Amino acid sequence: MQQLPLAGLKVVDLTNVLAGPYCGYQLMLFGAEVVKVELPGAGDLARRLGPDPALNRDLVGASFLAQNAGKKSVELDLKSPAGRQVFESMVAGADVLLENFRAGVLARLGYGWERLRELNPGLVYCAISGFGQSGPMSEAPAYDQIVQGLSGMMSVTGTPDTAPLRVGFPICDTIGGLMAAMAISAALAGRERTGAGCFLDLSMLEASLSAMGWTVSNYLVSGVEPEPMGDQNATAAPSGTFETADGPLNIAANQQAQFETLCRLVGRPDLPADPRFAGREARKEHRRALNEELNQALRAKTALEWEAILSAEGVPAARVLTVAQALALDQVRERGFLTELPFPLGGDGRRVTAAGNGVLIDGVPLRPRGPAPLLGQHNAEFGVAS
Protein backbone atom coordinates (compact mmCIF):
# COMPACT_ATOMS: atom_id res chain seq x y z
CA MET A 1 0.00 0.00 0.00
CA GLN A 2 1.30 3.45 -0.95
CA GLN A 3 2.71 5.54 1.91
CA LEU A 4 1.72 9.14 1.31
CA PRO A 5 4.16 11.94 2.32
CA LEU A 6 1.97 13.40 5.09
CA ALA A 7 0.60 10.10 6.42
CA GLY A 8 0.39 10.09 10.22
CA LEU A 9 0.24 13.87 10.52
CA LYS A 10 -2.79 15.41 12.24
CA VAL A 11 -4.38 18.69 11.18
CA VAL A 12 -6.93 20.55 13.29
CA ASP A 13 -8.89 22.63 10.79
CA LEU A 14 -10.99 25.58 12.01
CA THR A 15 -11.51 27.01 8.53
CA ASN A 16 -14.64 27.93 6.57
CA VAL A 17 -15.80 28.26 2.97
CA LEU A 18 -12.83 28.01 0.57
CA ALA A 19 -9.26 29.27 1.17
CA GLY A 20 -8.70 27.28 4.38
CA PRO A 21 -10.74 24.21 3.38
CA TYR A 22 -8.89 24.08 0.04
CA CYS A 23 -5.60 24.10 1.94
CA GLY A 24 -6.85 21.33 4.23
CA TYR A 25 -8.02 19.34 1.22
CA GLN A 26 -4.53 19.44 -0.29
CA LEU A 27 -3.00 18.26 2.99
CA MET A 28 -5.57 15.44 3.13
CA LEU A 29 -4.75 14.34 -0.41
CA PHE A 30 -1.09 14.06 0.60
CA GLY A 31 -2.06 11.78 3.48
CA ALA A 32 -2.73 13.95 6.54
CA GLU A 33 -5.67 13.32 8.86
CA VAL A 34 -7.71 16.53 8.72
CA VAL A 35 -10.33 17.14 11.41
CA LYS A 36 -12.74 20.00 10.82
CA VAL A 37 -13.77 21.77 14.02
CA GLU A 38 -17.21 23.23 13.31
CA LEU A 39 -19.72 25.36 15.16
CA PRO A 40 -22.39 23.11 16.71
CA GLY A 41 -25.58 22.95 14.68
CA ALA A 42 -24.28 25.22 11.92
CA GLY A 43 -20.86 24.10 10.74
CA ASP A 44 -18.87 25.44 7.83
CA LEU A 45 -20.87 28.09 5.90
CA ALA A 46 -20.05 26.18 2.71
CA ARG A 47 -22.41 23.44 3.90
CA ARG A 48 -25.19 25.81 2.87
CA LEU A 49 -23.60 27.06 -0.38
CA GLY A 50 -24.06 25.68 -3.87
CA PRO A 51 -26.56 25.49 -6.74
CA ASP A 52 -28.76 22.76 -5.18
CA PRO A 53 -31.10 24.12 -2.46
CA ALA A 54 -31.91 20.60 -1.22
CA LEU A 55 -28.25 19.84 -0.55
CA ASN A 56 -27.86 23.20 1.16
CA ARG A 57 -30.78 22.41 3.47
CA ASP A 58 -29.18 19.08 4.35
CA LEU A 59 -25.86 20.84 5.16
CA VAL A 60 -24.02 19.05 2.36
CA GLY A 61 -23.92 21.87 -0.20
CA ALA A 62 -21.93 21.32 -3.37
CA SER A 63 -19.40 23.95 -2.31
CA PHE A 64 -18.74 21.97 0.87
CA LEU A 65 -18.55 18.59 -0.85
CA ALA A 66 -15.96 19.96 -3.28
CA GLN A 67 -13.27 20.80 -0.69
CA ASN A 68 -13.94 18.57 2.29
CA ALA A 69 -13.91 14.98 1.09
CA GLY A 70 -11.73 12.70 3.19
CA LYS A 71 -11.92 14.90 6.31
CA LYS A 72 -13.51 14.34 9.71
CA SER A 73 -15.99 16.66 11.45
CA VAL A 74 -16.27 17.53 15.15
CA GLU A 75 -18.67 20.10 16.62
CA LEU A 76 -17.06 22.32 19.26
CA ASP A 77 -18.05 25.56 20.92
CA LEU A 78 -14.75 27.26 21.75
CA LYS A 79 -16.57 29.58 24.15
CA SER A 80 -17.73 26.73 26.38
CA PRO A 81 -15.50 25.05 29.02
CA ALA A 82 -16.20 21.57 27.62
CA GLY A 83 -15.47 22.68 24.06
CA ARG A 84 -12.25 24.40 25.06
CA GLN A 85 -11.08 21.32 26.93
CA VAL A 86 -11.56 19.08 23.89
CA PHE A 87 -9.97 21.69 21.60
CA GLU A 88 -6.88 22.00 23.79
CA SER A 89 -6.50 18.24 23.84
CA MET A 90 -6.74 18.15 20.05
CA VAL A 91 -4.15 20.92 19.67
CA ALA A 92 -1.78 19.17 22.06
CA GLY A 93 -1.82 16.09 19.85
CA ALA A 94 -1.81 17.85 16.48
CA ASP A 95 0.93 18.69 14.02
CA VAL A 96 -0.93 21.55 12.34
CA LEU A 97 -3.60 24.07 13.35
CA LEU A 98 -5.25 25.83 10.44
CA GLU A 99 -7.69 28.76 10.65
CA ASN A 100 -8.99 31.55 8.42
CA PHE A 101 -10.78 33.83 10.84
CA ARG A 102 -10.40 37.56 10.62
CA ALA A 103 -7.07 38.58 12.15
CA GLY A 104 -7.08 38.40 15.95
CA VAL A 105 -10.27 36.36 16.40
CA LEU A 106 -8.58 33.21 17.68
CA ALA A 107 -6.35 35.26 20.00
CA ARG A 108 -9.43 36.93 21.47
CA LEU A 109 -10.78 33.48 22.24
CA GLY A 110 -7.66 32.91 24.31
CA TYR A 111 -5.66 31.01 21.71
CA GLY A 112 -2.97 33.35 20.47
CA TRP A 113 0.34 31.95 19.33
CA GLU A 114 1.91 32.04 22.80
CA ARG A 115 -0.91 29.97 24.29
CA LEU A 116 -0.91 27.53 21.37
CA ARG A 117 2.85 27.09 21.69
CA GLU A 118 2.41 26.32 25.39
CA LEU A 119 -0.06 23.60 24.48
CA ASN A 120 2.20 22.17 21.78
CA PRO A 121 5.76 23.47 21.17
CA GLY A 122 5.96 21.51 17.91
CA LEU A 123 2.73 22.91 16.47
CA VAL A 124 2.70 24.48 13.02
CA TYR A 125 0.00 27.16 13.26
CA CYS A 126 -1.20 28.67 9.98
CA ALA A 127 -3.55 31.66 9.98
CA ILE A 128 -4.99 32.56 6.58
CA SER A 129 -6.56 36.01 6.35
CA GLY A 130 -7.34 38.57 3.72
CA PHE A 131 -4.51 40.94 4.61
CA GLY A 132 -2.37 39.22 7.24
CA GLN A 133 -2.22 39.57 11.01
CA SER A 134 -0.49 42.97 10.98
CA GLY A 135 -0.84 46.29 9.18
CA PRO A 136 -3.61 48.90 8.95
CA MET A 137 -5.97 46.60 7.01
CA SER A 138 -5.39 43.49 9.11
CA GLU A 139 -8.83 43.45 10.74
CA ALA A 140 -10.82 44.47 7.66
CA PRO A 141 -13.23 41.85 6.29
CA ALA A 142 -12.17 40.23 3.04
CA TYR A 143 -13.71 37.85 0.56
CA ASP A 144 -12.23 36.69 -2.73
CA GLN A 145 -13.94 39.48 -4.68
CA ILE A 146 -12.45 42.10 -2.37
CA VAL A 147 -8.93 40.71 -2.76
CA GLN A 148 -9.30 40.40 -6.54
CA GLY A 149 -10.08 44.09 -6.70
CA LEU A 150 -7.41 45.29 -4.28
CA SER A 151 -4.66 43.18 -5.85
CA GLY A 152 -5.05 44.81 -9.26
CA MET A 153 -6.10 41.46 -10.71
CA MET A 154 -9.48 42.76 -11.90
CA SER A 155 -7.86 45.78 -13.54
CA VAL A 156 -5.99 43.53 -15.99
CA THR A 157 -8.85 41.09 -16.62
CA GLY A 158 -11.03 41.71 -19.64
CA THR A 159 -10.54 44.10 -22.54
CA PRO A 160 -9.94 47.85 -22.35
CA ASP A 161 -13.71 48.22 -22.85
CA THR A 162 -14.84 45.63 -20.27
CA ALA A 163 -12.21 45.77 -17.50
CA PRO A 164 -12.24 45.61 -14.56
CA LEU A 165 -13.66 42.10 -14.52
CA ARG A 166 -13.71 39.45 -11.83
CA VAL A 167 -11.84 36.26 -12.70
CA GLY A 168 -14.49 33.59 -13.25
CA PHE A 169 -13.77 31.57 -10.11
CA PRO A 170 -12.53 32.47 -6.59
CA ILE A 171 -8.90 32.59 -7.64
CA CYS A 172 -7.57 34.53 -4.63
CA ASP A 173 -9.11 32.04 -2.21
CA THR A 174 -7.56 29.22 -4.22
CA ILE A 175 -4.14 30.87 -4.36
CA GLY A 176 -4.29 31.54 -0.62
CA GLY A 177 -5.11 27.90 0.06
CA LEU A 178 -2.34 26.60 -2.17
CA MET A 179 0.23 28.98 -0.66
CA ALA A 180 -0.84 27.93 2.83
CA ALA A 181 -0.48 24.23 1.98
CA MET A 182 3.00 24.88 0.61
CA ALA A 183 4.00 26.94 3.67
CA ILE A 184 2.71 24.27 6.04
CA SER A 185 4.58 21.54 4.19
CA ALA A 186 7.78 23.59 4.31
CA ALA A 187 7.30 24.26 8.04
CA LEU A 188 6.78 20.57 8.71
CA ALA A 189 9.99 19.77 6.83
CA GLY A 190 11.80 22.40 8.91
CA ARG A 191 10.40 20.93 12.11
CA GLU A 192 12.07 17.64 11.24
CA ARG A 193 15.42 19.40 11.69
CA THR A 194 14.66 21.65 14.65
CA GLY A 195 11.78 19.99 16.49
CA ALA A 196 10.13 23.41 16.85
CA GLY A 197 6.86 24.54 15.38
CA CYS A 198 6.17 27.99 13.98
CA PHE A 199 3.47 30.55 13.26
CA LEU A 200 2.59 31.09 9.60
CA ASP A 201 0.81 34.39 8.89
CA LEU A 202 -0.58 34.22 5.35
CA SER A 203 -2.04 37.23 3.55
CA MET A 204 -4.31 36.40 0.62
CA LEU A 205 -3.64 39.85 -0.83
CA GLU A 206 0.12 39.33 -0.86
CA ALA A 207 -0.17 35.72 -2.06
CA SER A 208 -2.31 36.94 -4.96
CA LEU A 209 0.15 39.68 -5.86
CA SER A 210 2.93 37.09 -5.80
CA ALA A 211 0.95 34.78 -8.09
CA MET A 212 0.45 37.58 -10.61
CA GLY A 213 4.12 37.15 -11.46
CA TRP A 214 5.09 38.98 -14.63
CA THR A 215 2.20 41.42 -14.35
CA VAL A 216 3.70 42.71 -11.10
CA SER A 217 7.37 42.39 -12.05
CA ASN A 218 6.87 44.24 -15.34
CA TYR A 219 5.80 47.23 -13.28
CA LEU A 220 8.39 46.83 -10.50
CA VAL A 221 11.32 46.22 -12.83
CA SER A 222 10.42 48.15 -15.97
CA GLY A 223 7.82 50.64 -14.78
CA VAL A 224 5.30 49.33 -17.31
CA GLU A 225 1.73 49.75 -16.08
CA PRO A 226 -0.18 46.53 -16.88
CA GLU A 227 -3.25 46.89 -19.09
CA PRO A 228 -6.18 44.56 -19.81
CA MET A 229 -5.70 42.69 -23.09
CA GLY A 230 -8.66 40.34 -23.15
CA ASP A 231 -7.71 36.98 -24.67
CA GLN A 232 -4.31 38.18 -25.91
CA ASN A 233 -0.91 37.50 -24.33
CA ALA A 234 1.02 40.71 -23.75
CA THR A 235 4.41 39.00 -24.01
CA ALA A 236 4.15 37.73 -27.59
CA ALA A 237 2.21 37.67 -30.86
CA PRO A 238 0.53 35.71 -32.26
CA SER A 239 -0.49 34.48 -28.81
CA GLY A 240 -4.14 34.48 -27.84
CA THR A 241 -7.54 33.28 -28.98
CA PHE A 242 -8.33 32.92 -32.67
CA GLU A 243 -11.34 32.10 -34.85
CA THR A 244 -11.90 28.78 -36.61
CA ALA A 245 -14.73 27.24 -38.61
CA ASP A 246 -16.62 26.19 -35.48
CA GLY A 247 -15.26 27.98 -32.42
CA PRO A 248 -12.35 29.60 -30.63
CA LEU A 249 -8.80 28.23 -30.62
CA ASN A 250 -5.93 29.27 -28.40
CA ILE A 251 -2.56 29.54 -30.12
CA ALA A 252 0.70 30.49 -28.39
CA ALA A 253 3.31 30.82 -31.13
CA ASN A 254 5.67 32.65 -28.78
CA GLN A 255 8.91 31.70 -30.52
CA GLN A 256 10.07 32.70 -34.00
CA ALA A 257 10.25 29.11 -35.21
CA GLN A 258 6.73 28.44 -33.95
CA PHE A 259 5.44 31.53 -35.74
CA GLU A 260 7.02 30.48 -39.01
CA THR A 261 5.64 26.94 -38.66
CA LEU A 262 2.18 28.30 -37.90
CA CYS A 263 2.22 30.47 -41.01
CA ARG A 264 3.29 27.54 -43.18
CA LEU A 265 0.61 25.22 -41.77
CA VAL A 266 -2.24 27.71 -42.25
CA GLY A 267 -1.17 28.38 -45.83
CA ARG A 268 0.37 31.79 -45.26
CA PRO A 269 4.14 31.25 -45.59
CA ASP A 270 4.42 34.87 -46.80
CA LEU A 271 3.59 36.43 -43.43
CA PRO A 272 7.07 36.13 -41.79
CA ALA A 273 8.52 38.16 -44.68
CA ASP A 274 6.10 41.04 -44.07
CA PRO A 275 8.07 43.79 -42.23
CA ARG A 276 5.13 44.23 -39.84
CA PHE A 277 5.44 40.64 -38.68
CA ALA A 278 9.11 39.78 -39.20
CA GLY A 279 10.29 40.23 -35.62
CA ARG A 280 8.88 39.70 -32.15
CA GLU A 281 8.42 43.37 -31.25
CA ALA A 282 7.02 44.22 -34.68
CA ARG A 283 4.41 41.49 -34.32
CA LYS A 284 3.35 42.82 -30.93
CA GLU A 285 3.03 46.33 -32.39
CA HIS A 286 0.92 45.07 -35.29
CA ARG A 287 -0.93 42.40 -33.35
CA ARG A 288 -4.40 43.32 -34.65
CA ALA A 289 -3.39 43.17 -38.32
CA LEU A 290 -1.59 39.86 -37.78
CA ASN A 291 -4.59 38.37 -35.98
CA GLU A 292 -6.88 39.37 -38.86
CA GLU A 293 -4.64 37.60 -41.37
CA LEU A 294 -4.46 34.45 -39.26
CA ASN A 295 -8.18 34.39 -38.43
CA GLN A 296 -9.02 34.48 -42.13
CA ALA A 297 -6.81 31.44 -42.75
CA LEU A 298 -7.90 29.54 -39.61
CA ARG A 299 -11.60 29.71 -40.56
CA ALA A 300 -10.90 27.00 -43.15
CA LYS A 301 -10.90 24.20 -40.54
CA THR A 302 -12.43 23.35 -37.18
CA ALA A 303 -10.76 24.07 -33.88
CA LEU A 304 -10.19 20.36 -33.23
CA GLU A 305 -8.59 19.90 -36.65
CA TRP A 306 -6.23 22.83 -36.09
CA GLU A 307 -5.42 21.60 -32.57
CA ALA A 308 -4.19 18.31 -34.01
CA ILE A 309 -2.34 19.85 -36.98
CA LEU A 310 -0.54 22.57 -35.04
CA SER A 311 0.29 20.51 -31.95
CA ALA A 312 1.82 17.77 -34.10
CA GLU A 313 4.27 20.32 -35.50
CA GLY A 314 5.22 21.83 -32.12
CA VAL A 315 2.96 24.89 -32.18
CA PRO A 316 1.06 25.11 -28.87
CA ALA A 317 -2.66 25.14 -29.74
CA ALA A 318 -5.87 23.91 -28.13
CA ARG A 319 -9.61 24.47 -28.21
CA VAL A 320 -11.31 26.76 -25.70
CA LEU A 321 -13.56 24.37 -23.77
CA THR A 322 -16.35 24.63 -21.27
CA VAL A 323 -15.78 23.25 -17.79
CA ALA A 324 -17.90 20.20 -18.66
CA GLN A 325 -15.85 19.55 -21.80
CA ALA A 326 -12.59 19.93 -19.90
CA LEU A 327 -13.65 17.41 -17.26
CA ALA A 328 -14.62 14.96 -20.02
CA LEU A 329 -11.18 15.03 -21.68
CA ASP A 330 -9.56 11.60 -22.05
CA GLN A 331 -6.35 13.17 -20.71
CA VAL A 332 -8.06 14.09 -17.43
CA ARG A 333 -9.80 10.75 -17.04
CA GLU A 334 -6.76 8.63 -17.89
CA ARG A 335 -4.71 10.22 -15.11
CA GLY A 336 -7.34 9.49 -12.49
CA PHE A 337 -8.08 13.12 -11.65
CA LEU A 338 -11.70 12.40 -10.73
CA THR A 339 -12.84 10.05 -7.95
CA GLU A 340 -16.36 8.78 -7.38
CA LEU A 341 -17.31 8.70 -3.69
CA PRO A 342 -20.42 7.63 -1.78
CA PHE A 343 -22.95 10.38 -1.14
CA PRO A 344 -22.53 11.44 2.53
CA LEU A 345 -26.22 10.98 3.33
CA GLY A 346 -26.26 7.48 1.83
CA GLY A 347 -29.60 6.02 0.81
CA ASP A 348 -30.34 5.92 -2.90
CA GLY A 349 -26.91 4.99 -4.22
CA ARG A 350 -26.05 8.53 -5.31
CA ARG A 351 -22.39 9.21 -5.90
CA VAL A 352 -20.32 12.37 -5.59
CA THR A 353 -17.40 13.05 -7.90
CA ALA A 354 -14.40 14.74 -6.30
CA ALA A 355 -11.44 16.36 -8.03
CA GLY A 356 -7.80 15.57 -7.27
CA ASN A 357 -4.94 18.03 -7.56
CA GLY A 358 -3.03 16.87 -10.62
CA VAL A 359 -0.22 15.19 -8.66
CA LEU A 360 0.75 11.55 -9.20
CA ILE A 361 3.16 9.94 -6.74
CA ASP A 362 5.03 7.04 -8.32
CA GLY A 363 2.34 6.95 -10.97
CA VAL A 364 -0.58 6.90 -8.52
CA PRO A 365 -3.01 9.87 -8.40
CA LEU A 366 -3.83 11.45 -5.05
CA ARG A 367 -7.44 10.75 -4.13
CA PRO A 368 -9.74 11.53 -1.19
CA ARG A 369 -10.19 8.51 1.04
CA GLY A 370 -13.89 9.05 1.68
CA PRO A 371 -16.76 11.51 1.22
CA ALA A 372 -17.10 14.83 2.97
CA PRO A 373 -18.28 14.34 6.57
CA LEU A 374 -21.69 15.08 7.95
CA LEU A 375 -21.71 17.81 10.58
CA GLY A 376 -20.39 16.29 13.81
CA GLN A 377 -20.01 12.85 12.26
CA HIS A 378 -16.87 12.15 14.31
CA ASN A 379 -17.96 13.71 17.60
CA ALA A 380 -17.82 10.42 19.50
CA GLU A 381 -14.28 9.71 18.31
CA PHE A 382 -13.12 12.87 20.08
CA GLY A 383 -15.30 12.51 23.17
CA VAL A 384 -17.89 15.09 22.16
CA ALA A 385 -21.53 14.40 22.94
CA SER A 386 -23.79 14.67 19.90
Catalytic residue at 173?
yes
β partners of residue 99: 127
Listed in sequence order, the residues at least 6 apart from 54 whose beta carbon sits closer than 8 Å to its beta carbon are none
- Give dist(CA 235, CA 215) in Å, integer: 10
Question: Which long-range CB contacts under 8 A does 143-152 form with residues at least 24 apart?
Answer: 144/18, 144/19, 144/170, 144/171, 144/172, 144/173, 147/172, 147/204, 147/205, 147/208, 148/172, 148/208, 150/205, 151/205, 151/208, 151/209, 151/212, 152/209, 152/212, 152/215, 152/216, 152/226
- 165 and 116 Cβ atoms separated by less than 8 Å: no
- 205 and 150 Cβ atoms separated by less than 8 Å: yes
Domain with residues 239-243+248-319, CATH architecture: 2-Layer Sandwich (3.30)
- Give dist(CA 87, CA 97) in Å, integer: 11
- Pick the catalytic residue: 13, 95, 144, 173? 173
Per-residue pLDDT at 345: 87
Going through 16-107 in order, the beta strands assigned E by DSSP cover: 33-38, 72-75, 96-99
Per-residue pLDDT at 1: 66
Query: Which residues in the chain are classed under CATH 3.40.50.10540?
Result: 10-212+345-382
CATH 1.20.1630.10 fits 10-212+345-382, yes or no: no
Per-residue pLDDT at 229: 93
- Give the chain's end-to-end CA distance (angstroms, integer): 34
As averages over each run of 10 residues, the pLDDT of the chain (386 residues) reads 91 97 98 97 95 94 94 96 96 97 93 97 97 94 95 96 95 97 98 95 97 94 93 94 97 96 97 96 96 98 98 97 96 96 82 94 95 95 86
Query: Which residues in the chain are classed under CATH 3.30.1540.10?
Result: 239-243+248-319
- Give dist(CA 378, CA 386) in Å, integer: 9
